[in-house]
Chain A
Amino acid sequence: MKLSVQTKRYLIIVLGIIIFLPPISLIPSIFGSLSICGAPFCMRMLFSIEGFIAMSKVLFVGLFMLIVIFAISFFAGRFFCSYVCPIGGATELGSKIVPKKLKINYSWISAPAVRYSYLAAFLILPVLGVGSICCSYCNFSIISSLFGSIASPSSRILLITFGGMVNLAMIILLGFLAAGGRAYCNFLCPIGAIDGIFNWLGSKIKSFKRIRIDKTNCGSCGQCVEECPVWAIEKAEDNSMKINQISCITCKICIKKCPSKAISYRKG
């Protein structure tokens, strides 16, 4: 039996959930942790007020993962976000069981504008002494608690706190109920925001493979625009389709959906 690319991707996401998140938490267990939230895993705290170099001492696994993720994104595309990330993957898989009628389409919002102003706030507000949005509103923490709550009463209690409720609402609205299930990733993931820049920089080098559209074959039907979970494909002024590499997560859904086979993962 030959599995499709998307089935393989979903299976890898499930594997990511099993090895990174409670109740199994295979890899965090090796380091005496419960999930990828907190030391030594958190990749987001590396950009907090304490400073990258200081935090990298306690978040050494997170730093290693960050280097690997950014390197993969630069050379090959955002495969961590689309294939491995247990957080974005969990919301994407969760959104599959929500009926289409209930789905919210956020594609009218400029995702890069929200994403990079959120990233700016994430980096600047602690420096200004205003406070931090690093942990209180983090989906790494809430998805871990959500999976942990299956067997742990302490995780269930954290879900009923103010931060837990706000996070849960955001996960539901921007994750499970979002068309494509990746609105949270697209708007509020600081790692994804930086990863997008690496992906965009790598796409400028023609010898690196990326999701690209062959304009000669493209029928401008707009099917790819409809299906992209991160609304990274847009219609250009000349009616041709254009991939926004700063948002693309290399999930390859558009390749499967394109009726004229104009989209492929190839060199530029």
Chain B
Amino acid sequence: MNRKKHLFIIVLTIVITFMVCTIAAMYTPPNFGHSVTMISNDGGISRHPVLLGLDEEEYVLFASGTVKAPYTGSIKVVLEGEPKIEHKIYSRYPPSLNLGIHKFHEFGNDTIKNIYPWEKYALVVYIKPKNKIDKAANYNLRFYDLESSNIVLSIPIKFNELDNFNISKEVRRPYSKVRDSKIINPRKKDTISISKYLHKVSCCEE
């Protein structure tokens, strides 16, 4: 193979790889959403609402995060919104084979039991609606402290007709702080910056 042809193939490989990666990075699947969150006494943090498409047969919502000190307790997880939709909540913790090296929280009856600061949680919500989901309906995955009934985390879920490549801009608007369904513009003053967010995650004090 001559040198020019070899160079052309390498350049072509680079261009194709970059194009495929760009498409993959922009695409947001309509039936899956991952919410990186934090449970806290003051209502928790969810970085953005979960945007899902309409007319899907099933949806999977993955909610993971850590518990911010000083919160400790048991939490009831409820998918709120009208009309009710069929769903099942699974927890990845405790591990199926618990070696007893670490004290993991338990999960049962949609309740996270005895979770403590800096402990990680990962919930998988499998939604299989029987009827068509109404575009106007508001859904929230809410985490209630069992003792006080206070909300310790709320993850808004939006069902909409999605353009799978355009919604990524809204979903990925970086690190906006969301409480209920309100999206706070990250450019505004009350936005949480990523360095502050990470500081909160990694340190004990706000």
Enumerate chain A interface residues (CB-CB to B < 8 A).
22-26, 29-34, 38-39, 49-51, 54-55, 57-58, 109-110, 113-114, 116-118, 120-122, 125-126, 129-133, 135-137, 148, 150-155, 157-158, 160-163
**Do A132 and B119 form a contact, CB below 8 Å, given A23-B95, A30-B102?**
no
Q: Is B135 an interface residue (CB 8 A)?
A: no
Scan residues 1-59 of chain B and give those whose CB is less than 8 A from a CB of chain A.
9-10, 13-14, 17-18, 21-22, 24-29, 31-32, 34
Q: Which A residue sits closest to B60, measured CB to CB?
A: A161
Q: Is the CB of A49 within 8 A of B18?
A: no
**Do A130 and B95 form a contact, CB below 8 Å, given A38-B64, A110-B13, A163-B29?**
no
Q: Is B174 an interface residue (CB 8 A)?
A: yes
**Do A158 and B62 form a contact, CB below 8 Å, given A22-B95, A54-B194, A153-B90?**
yes
What is the CA–CA distance of A232 and B155 in the complex, to the nearest angstrom? 48
Q: Is the CB of A162 within 8 A of B32?
A: yes
Interface string of B68-84 (1 = CB under 8 A from A): 00000000000000000
Seed contacts A22-B95, A158-B62; 7 additional CB < 8 Å A-B pairs = A26-B99, A32-B120, A50-B194, A57-B201, A116-B14, A154-B123, A157-B60
Q: Which A residue sits closest to B169, measured CB to CB?
A: A129
15 inter-chain pairs at a CB distance below 8 angstroms, sorted by A residue, are A24-B97, A33-B120, A39-B120, A57-B201, A57-B202, A110-B10, A110-B13, A114-B17, A116-B14, A118-B21, A121-B18, A125-B21, A125-B22, A154-B92, A157-B60
What is the CA–CA distance of A129 and B126 in the complex, to the nearest angstrom? 29
Q: Which B residue sits closest to A33, measured CB to CB?
A: B120
Q: Is the CB of B29 within 8 A of A23?
A: no
Q: Which residues of B contact A51 (CB under 8 A)?
A: 194
A-B contact count (CB 8 A): 129
CB distance from A40 to the nearest CB of B (A): 9
What is the CA–CA distance of A38 and B120 in the complex, to the nearest angstrom? 10
Cβ 8 A contact of A152, one of B24, B66, B96, B168: B96
Q: Which B residue sits closest to A133, measured CB to CB?
A: B25
Q: Which residues of B contact A25 (CB under 8 A)?
A: 95, 97
What is the CA–CA distance of A150 and B79 in the complex, to the nearest angstrom? 27
Q: Which residues of A contact B34 (CB under 8 A)?
A: 135
Interface string of B182-195 (1 = CB under 8 A from A): 00000000000011
**Do A113 and B14 form a contact, CB below 8 Å, given A58-B201, A161-B32?**
yes
Interface size class of B (residues with CB under 8 A): 35 or more
Q: Is the CB of A151 within 8 A of B18?
A: no
Q: Which B residue sits closest to A126, measured CB to CB?
A: B25
**Do A113 and B17 form a contact, CB below 8 Å, given A30-B102, A121-B22?**
yes
What is the CA–CA distance of A219 and B44 in the complex, to the nearest angstrom? 67
What is the CA–CA distance of A157 and B31 in the complex, to the nearest angstrom? 12
Q: Is the CB of B91 within 8 A of A154?
A: yes
Cβ 8 A contact of B99, one of A24, A129, A135, A158: A24
Q: Which residues of B contact A31 (CB under 8 A)?
A: 102
Q: Is the CB of B26 within 8 A of A130?
A: yes
Cβ 8 A contact of A151, one of B97, B198, B201: B97
What is the CA–CA distance of A5 and B20 in the complex, to the nearest angstrom? 38
**Do A131 and B25 form a contact, CB below 8 Å, given A29-B95, A32-B119, A153-B90?**
yes
Q: Is the CB of A131 within 8 A of B168?
A: yes
Q: Is B101 an interface residue (CB 8 A)?
A: yes
Q: Is the CB of B25 within 8 A of A125?
A: yes
**Do A155 and B97 form a contact, CB below 8 Å, given A161-B32, A162-B32, A163-B32?**
no
Pairs of residues from A and B, 8 with the lowest C-beta to C-beta distance, nearest first: A151-B96, A121-B21, A162-B29, A131-B25, A154-B90, A117-B17, A57-B202, A23-B97
Q: Is the CB of B22 within 8 A of A130?
A: yes
What is the CA–CA distance of A50 and B172 in the complex, to the nearest angstrom? 13
**Do A158 and B60 form a contact, CB below 8 Å, given A23-B95, A34-B93, A152-B96?**
yes
Q: Is the CB of B26 within 8 A of A157?
A: no
